[in-house]
Amino acid sequence: MLKTRDCGELRAEHAGEQVTLSGWVHRRRDHGGLVFVDLRDSTGLTQVVFHPEHAPEATAVASDVRDEYVLQVQGEVQRRRDGTENAELATGAIEVQASAAEVLNPSRTPPFPVNQEANVGDQTRLRYRYLDLRRERMARNMRLRHQVVKHIRDFHDARGFVEVETPVLGLASPEGARDYLVPSRVHPGSFYALPQSPQQWKQMLMVGGVDRYFQIARCYRDEDLRMDRQPEFTQLDVEMAFVEEDDVMRLNEELLIELAAAFMPEKRVDVPFPRMTHAEADERYGSDKPDIRYAVELHDLTNYVRDTEFKVFSGAIEAGGRVRAIAVPGGADTSRRDVDRLVEMAKEAGARGLVWAQFTGEGPLDGLVDDDVKSPVGRFFDAEALAELGRACGASRGDMLLIAADQDEVTSRVLDVLRRHVATERGLADPDRLAFLWITEFPLLEWDDEAERWSAVHHLFTSPMDEDRELLASDPGKVRARAYDVICNGQEIGGGSVRMHRREMQQEVMSLLGLSPEDAHEQFAHMLDAFEYGAPPHGGIAWGLDRTVALFAGETDIREVIAFPKTKSAVDMVTGAPAPVAADQLGEVHVDLSASARETLAATARDVREGLEDDD
């Protein structure tokens, strides 16, 4: 046998046992003939000792091995001498006295240290991902991902859910992001689309009587990437028949509480999760995914400055906008350089500028004189006027106001960016808290100025609230959706809704979205027809599984919990995909590239290859 024990399982009670271990050389130390090797596999480390007088041949083998050699060792488990135990190692009470050793495979010198968490460039890590996965951090994240998925499966199985795999090759239909398309060999000129989510399939499962469905589903979206997005990702997909919003939310809340207790027991979770409407979240935090671990909230100052001569404020108000602000605790100590950086951040977020005011000293904002306030608008507002604005925001001496004036869409976005930044810089968020939150009553539709039509905020199968149904015909922008998102520490974990299950309502919404009856039939006949065969009321949710695992792993980038992720330009650094394919292979799927397209592909291939060769 290549191994009789794992490297991480040996303990003091195994002393005297003859074992065969196989793994990678984590570290080798030569003490004047006596050789120590830390042997590693996916379960942990064991120290192996080679004595030249007891096992000369094995010691000769050990003397020649280097880091990441694949080594097989035979020997006896022995307790370490008193005082030599390693309390930081699970196997630190024992060592293996080697009697034989064999190199199963040598290794070139790795491009970065595998046996330590050295700082390595992202491209190098992704190019040699198979080495990166050996490192403790990544190995721990992969095990955690497995454990989270297993817990999710066990949870749903215990509650009568059935895991059903839905098709990967499907019909292209408008669901938000761009589809990845797959040309058909047997149907010239026709294409499959990879699923952005199993949304339509799971709704048809409800019609099919699978009234409690879940799936760990692979999904694909051709969209711009960032830390929490990948072109292919995994989601927990859940759908239930005969439910309303509370049923779905209670189930998912129970699961999240279990996961938090299992994988972050040191964190505090407030239960039940608070709920907040979309309108309230935007008003208080400027975001539909607020971090509620700190009490910095947005405040409306419009009525306080409505009669001002300061054109930045009065002009925004006259244009139908508002003046809104946040108070930064302790912000009076912010240097002018850092204030200027806040102004630049506000502009990057879409503001035309940012007004600020710093209140020096300690205590309430009473009896301020001009020397107690620093602000670029001092000639328009005296100290007492600025103090009044500060009091409206709950500020005290020692704090700073950040004030934005524009349409709500702009001020919300700007103050949300600044709020998150100052919270990070000042450590305002409680690190020992997982602040879960439900956001409800999203708008059903939003106006798309570029397309000059309504578009769905979540997706076109989300049901409107019953009391807003009549507004579909008269004022679609005021219709609220039976939708809900679950947020944790300022990041969206998942979102879902109660769906439409009647054909006439679904067609009414499709018409609002600009789909003619002919287009609706061509793209969604399967859904519309299914609704005529006794479709039950149903609803569900989808979690970003990568985001969820990253949360419990303490990672900010989902690539750290994905085995083989893409770069932010959607390149697979291990294989070099995407890449051109041979003309005859394209011909088999009836694809003929133009000369300009072939030139573009060749240039793209060169760029990808250069990226693979660039270690930065």
Using one digit for the tens of pLDDT, what is the confidence trace for 387-421? 999 999 999 999 999 999 999 999 999 999 999 99
Is the pLDDT at 614 greater than 70? The verdict is: no
Question: Beta-carbon neighbour count of residue 152 at 10 Å?
Answer: 20
What's the confidence (pLDDT) of residue 513? 93
At a CB cut-off of 8 Å and minimum separation 6, what does 278 contact? 288, 439, 440, 441, 442, 443
**pLDDT band for position 74 (cuts 50, 70, 90):** very high
* Chain segment 119-135, per-residue pLDDT in tens: 899 999 999 999 999 99
The three-point CA angle 58-62-65 to 5° equals 140
Structure tokens at 600: 């573009």
- Residue 493: what pLDDT? 96
Q: Looking at residue 611, what is its pLDDT?
A: 60
Choice among 32-41, 219-228, 310-319 with the minimum mean pLDDT: 219-228
Does 578 sit behind a cis peptide bond, omega within 30 degrees of 0 on the bond before it?
Answer: yes
Q: Is the pLDDT at 103 greater than 60, yes or no?
A: yes
Side-chain-facing half-sphere of 447: CA atoms under 13 Å: 6
Write down the pLDDT at residue 175.
63
Structure confidence at residue 173 as a pLDDT band (50, 70, 90): confident
Q: How many residues does the chain have?
A: 616
- Rounded to an integer, the average pLDDT of 196-214 is 96
The pLDDT, as a whole number, for residue 285 is: 98
| Average pLDDT rounded to a whole number, residues 276-297 | 97
Query: What are the residue boundaries of the structural domains of the chain, listed by start?
Result: 12-105, 137-264+543-561, 294-428
Q: What pLDDT, on the 0 to 100 scale, is given for residue 616? A: 41
What tokens does 189 get?
A: 């000129």
For range 424-452, the mean pLDDT: 94
CA triple 171-205-496, angle to 5 deg: 85
- Selected from 3.40.50.300, 3.30.70.270, 3.30.930.10, 3.40.190.10, the CATH number assigned to the domain covering 137-264+543-561 reads 3.30.930.10
**Percent helix / strand / coil, the chain, rounded to 5:** 35, 25, 40
Residue 553 structure tokens: 């792993």
What is 21-70 written as a DSSP string?
EEEEEEEEEEETTEEEEEEEETTEEEEEEE-TTT-HHHHHHHHH--TT-E
- 294-428 classified as CATH 3.30.1360.30: yes
Flag whether pLDDT at 176 surpasses 70: no
Q: What is the mean pLDDT of residues 378-392?
A: 95
E strands present in 419-482:
433-434, 436-440, 445-448, 453-456
Mean pLDDT of 529-540: 97
- Of the pLDDT bands very low, low, confident and very high (cuts 50, 70, 90), residue 612 is low
Residue 608 has pLDDT above 70, yes or no: no
Where is 314: in which H helix or E strand?
A: helix 311-318
Distance, CA of 180 to CA of 232 (rounded, Å):
10
pLDDT category at 615 given cuts 50, 70, 90 is very low
Per the CATH hierarchy, to which homologous superfamily does domain 12-105 belong?
Nucleic acid-binding proteins (2.40.50.140)
**Mean pLDDT lowest for which of 146-155, 209-218, 605-614?**
605-614
Taking the C-alpha atoms of residue 447 and residue 426, their distance in angstroms, rounded to an integer, is 37
Q: What is the mean pLDDT of residues 145-156?
A: 98
Average pLDDT over residues 355-361: 96
Distance CA 228, CA 224 (A): 11
Residue 483 pLDDT greater than 70, yes or no: yes
* CA-angle at 109, arms to 107 and 110, nearest 5°: 95
| Residue-wise pLDDT tens digits, 222-259 | 987 777 789 999 999 999 999 999 999 999 999 999 99
Mean pLDDT of the chain: 94
326 contact partners, CB below 8 Å, separation of at least 6: 296, 297, 298, 299, 393, 401, 402, 415, 418, 419, 422
Counting beta carbons within 10 angstroms of the beta carbon of residue 591, is it exposed (0 to 12), middle (13 to 18) or buried (19 or more)? middle
525 CB neighbour count, 10 Å cutoff = 11
Measured CA angle at 130 (ends 125, 133), to 5 deg: 75
Within 8 A by CB and 6+ apart from 96, the residues are 10, 19, 21, 46, 47, 48, 49, 73, 75, 76, 77, 78
Helix (H, G, I), strand (E, B) or coil at 115: coil
Q: Looking at residues 262-288, what average pLDDT do you find? A: 97
For residue 272, cis peptide bond before it (omega within 30 degrees of 0): yes
- Please report the pLDDT score of residue 438 as a whole number: 98
Pair of tokens at residue 277: 């409407």
